[in-house]
């Protein structure tokens, strides 16, 4: 607990002040298990199938609450429980929810049914089996605002730039300068998604070193952000699906959870960097650079060259271990109305810019930088082309 003079909002509480005994875990687990007319959106029946499995999870006492949503062709399972991160039962429940949704997709002969479920049987943890997961366990504050980010058609490092701005850039988050609690800085866990290594680094002390790694979006990504006294601030799914499968099976389409306010960045500080339509790798065939397009969930169907890559942001409260949105309090588990932050008109300007940039990038056709570097192409014919040309290849004069 921070001292009173460090707390300009003394009526707001910090980690350790929770009314709820024990900790809550928020698990956000996602997978693409099929969609309508290409890689667009899951059928409502698939969402219903996933919801019924999670509803049973509540009945069986595994979950406190849940919300099933989507971004583009990915189904997102947002769950609260008290079982901690990487819990086998919670991961198995999610696996079963995706299997059930994939079953519906198969019945309707939808496209890519079961795509991200890389094995026939659950092996103990969804990580490494196809789905992506962002999970955080923490002691609930008396008021616990949270942002849930979901992206489609892009890789796990897509969040690195906005996260760097949110937690390390005082020109984005004025709170880093003027809020004594934020002024303490953050620790950033950076993962090497290729060699499966991680390192915890301190901002602002190691800011330039952190950026020296994160700037290479082909290899490094932020996994977690920790506040020195308030605990976990953000967590991101960093599973690199194409590498896991050893062959192309889909995009990584990462998710992120961010705790906000009262010493953590304000909701507005977290959303602000998304006004820059950064180029992210992914998009069509996971092989192009396109400009990130912030939008509401209902607007997240890819429509231009299977994109452009989308990002959605939902606002919720975690209340006594459950999800609270704009729905009446005490609504039944699963029934929630989060704030759909990027649905508003103020983001039209960014969307228009993102479209303009994406159309410009398409002007490159199959040339770099319109397409990603050869090692990052998720589809390639280069080995065969080179093999065919081998007898005709001559040394340079």
Query: Which 248-267 residues touch ligand F6R, going by CB under 6 A?
Result: 250-251
Which member of 135, 140, 187, 306 binds ligand F6R (CB under 6 A)?
A: 306
Query: In terms of C-beta distances under 8 Å and separation of at least 24 residues, what long-range contacts does 58-66 make, across chains too?
Result: 58/333, 58/334, 62/89, 62/90, 62/93, 63/90, 63/93, 63/333, 64/24, 64/321, 64/322, 64/333, 65/321, 65/322, 65/323, 65/333, 65/334, 66/323, 66/333, 66/334
Beta bridge partners of 232: 226
Q: Would you give the binding string for ligand F6R spanning residues 162-201, x where CB under 6 A is met?
A: ----------------------------------------
The reply to whether 74 sits near Mg ion by the rule CB under 5 A is: yes
Separation in Å, CA 315 to CA 14, 58, 243, 326, 340: 20, 22, 31, 10, 7
Decide if 251 is catalytic.
yes
Binding at 259: pick from ligand F6R, Mg ion, none (beta carbon under 5-8 Å per type)? none
Q: Which residue among the candidates 56, 111, 192, 248 is catalytic per the annotation?
A: 248
Identify the residue among 30, 39, 322, 362 touching Mg ion (CB under 5 A).
Answer: 39
Task: Return the ∠ at Cα 17 (arms to 12 and 20), rounded to 5°.
Answer: 115
Q: How near is the Cβ of 280 to ligand F6R at its closest, in Å?
A: 12
**Window of 124-132, 163-171, 223-231, 282-290 that interacts with ligand F6R by CB under 6 A:** 282-290
In this chain, which of 8, 16, 22, 38 binds ligand F6R, going by CB under 6 A? Answer: 38
| Active-site residue, from 153, 223, 240, 251 | 251
Distance CA 336, CA 357 (A): 35
Place of tokens 């990504």: 221
209 is catalytic: no
Q: Is 59 a catalytic residue?
A: no
Residues in the chain: 397
Q: Should residue 284 be labelled a site residue for ligand F6R when binding is judged by CB under 6 A?
A: yes
CB of 115 to Mg ion, least distance (A): 6
Q: Which of residues 256-315 bind Mg ion (CB under 5 A)?
A: none
Nearer to ligand F6R, 152 or 187 (CB): 152
Strands, DSSP E only, in 237-388?
Answer: 255-259, 279-282, 288-291, 293-294, 310-319, 322-324, 339-340
* Nearest residue to 376 via CA among 154, 44, 66, 146: 154
Q: Does 116 sit near ligand F6R (CB under 6 A)?
A: no
The catalytic site residues sit at: 32, 248, 251
The residue ranges that bind Mg ion (CB under 5 A) are: 32, 39, 72-74, 152, 250-251, 253
The residue ranges that bind ligand F6R (CB under 6 A) are: 38-39, 112, 153, 250-251, 284-286, 306
């Amino acid at each position: 607990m921070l001292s009173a003079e460090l707390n300009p909002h003394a009526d707001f509480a910090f980690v350790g002040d929770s009314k709820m005994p024990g900790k809550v875990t928020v698990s956000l687990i996602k997978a693409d298990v099929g969609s309508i007319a290409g890689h667009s959106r899951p059928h409502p029946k698939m969402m219903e199938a996933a919801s019924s499995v999670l509803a049973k999870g509540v009945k069986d006492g595994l979950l406190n609450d849940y919300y099933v949503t989507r971004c583009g062709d990915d189904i997102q399972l947002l769950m609260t429980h008290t079982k901690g991160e990487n819990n086998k039962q919670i991961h198995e429940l999610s696996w079963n929810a995706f299997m059930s949704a994939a079953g519906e997709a198969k019945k309707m002969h939808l496209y890519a049914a079961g795509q991200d479920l890389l094995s026939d049987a659950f092996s103990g943890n969804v990580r490494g089996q196809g789905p992506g997961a962002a999970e955080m366990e923490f002691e609930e504050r008396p008021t616990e605002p949270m942002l849930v980010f979901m992206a489609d058609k892009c890789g796990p490092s897509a969040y690195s730039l906005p996260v760097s701005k949110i937690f390390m850039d005082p020109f984005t988050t004025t709170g880093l300068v003027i809020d004594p609690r934020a002024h303490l800085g953050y620790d950033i866990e950076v993962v090497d998604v290729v060699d499966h290594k991680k390192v915890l680094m301190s901002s602002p002390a190691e800011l330039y070193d952190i950026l020296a790694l994160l700037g290479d979006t082909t290899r490094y990504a932020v996994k977690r952000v920790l506040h020195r006294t308030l605990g976990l601030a953000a967590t991101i799914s960093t599973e690199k699906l194409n590498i896991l499968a050893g062959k192309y099976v889909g995009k990584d389409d990462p998710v992120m959870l961010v705790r906000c306010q009262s010493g953590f960045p304000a909701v507005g500080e977290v959303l602000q960097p998304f006004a820059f339509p950064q180029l992210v790798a992914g998009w069509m065939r996971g092989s192009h650079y396109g400009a990130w397009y912030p939008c509401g969930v209902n607007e997240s169907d890819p429509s231009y060259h299977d994109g452009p890559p989308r990002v959605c942001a939902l606002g919720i409260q975690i209340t006594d271990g459950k999800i609270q949105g704009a729905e009446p309090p005490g609504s039944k588990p699963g029934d929630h109305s989060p704030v759909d932050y990027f649905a508003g008109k103020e983001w039209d300007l960014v969307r228009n810019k993102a479209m303009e940039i994406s159309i410009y990038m398409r002007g490159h056709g199959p040339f770099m930088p319109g397409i990603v570097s050869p090692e990052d192409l998720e589809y390639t014919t280069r080995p065969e082309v080179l093999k065919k040309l081998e007898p005709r290849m001559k040394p340079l004069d």
